[in-house]
Amino acid sequence: MEIPYVAQTLFPLIWPLIAVAGALIRTRKSPSPQARLETWQRWWAVAALGCGSLWMVFAFLGAPGVMADVIGFTRSPFQFEIAFANLGLAVMGFRAASSSATARERVTVGLGAGMFLWGALIGHVYQWFANGDHAPGNTGGVLVCDLLFPAVLIVLAVRSKRLAAAVEKPVLV
């Protein structure tokens, strides 16, 4: 295994690592579980989904030949479409990071992102097994990101909604 292959396949994991590191640092002195959860949601939305997707926009528009090689495909017009699909994901991620975003809105963003990214995940796995595509942009880190970006956002938002509901309910003694 070459270092460039390993670096290329692991590179997408930089976005969730930034989200986790940022959330861990920012929640060290959080005053409440709600505040911690809000911080985690915002970091995940902006760093993982937002910046991770924006990076893909720049990569597919700025270096389409390199991206085709990294994915294991030939260069084609689909790359332009993938760039703008990722731009939509980035916008949704940045919106979900807003302080005015509700848990319901974040679940919706997660589901919307999931429709694209989970479909891409299925496509990557299919290409891997059906056509032996072991290119770094088809296996490895991209699979983890395609699965986790929307799933974690949904889980955090659902947990936030449940925590808010539990805090609002009076405790009967």
Residues contacting residue 56 through CB under 8 Å, at least 6 positions apart = 82, 83, 86
Does this model's pTM top 0.85?
yes
- Per-residue pLDDT tens over the stretch 73-83: 999 999 999 99
- Identify the pLDDT of residue 167: 80
Whether the pLDDT of residue 1 is over 60: the answer is no
- Identify the pLDDT of residue 168: 75
Whether the pLDDT of residue 23 is over 80: the answer is yes
- Identify the pLDDT of residue 60: 97
- Per-residue pLDDT tens over the stretch 146-165: 999 999 999 999 999 999 88
- Per-residue pLDDT tens over the stretch 91-114: 999 999 999 999 999 999 999 999
SS (H, E, C) the chain: CCHHHHHHHHHHHHHHHHHHHHHHHHCCCCCCHHHHHHHHHHHHHHHHHHHHHHHHHHHHHHCHHHHHHHHCCCCCCHHHHHHHHHHHHHHHHHHHCCCCCCHHHHHHHHHHHHHHHHHHHHHHHHHHHHHCCCCCCCCCHHHHHHHHHHHHHHHHHHHHHHHHHHHHCCCCC
- Identify the pLDDT of residue 173: 63
Average pLDDT on 162-173 reads 77
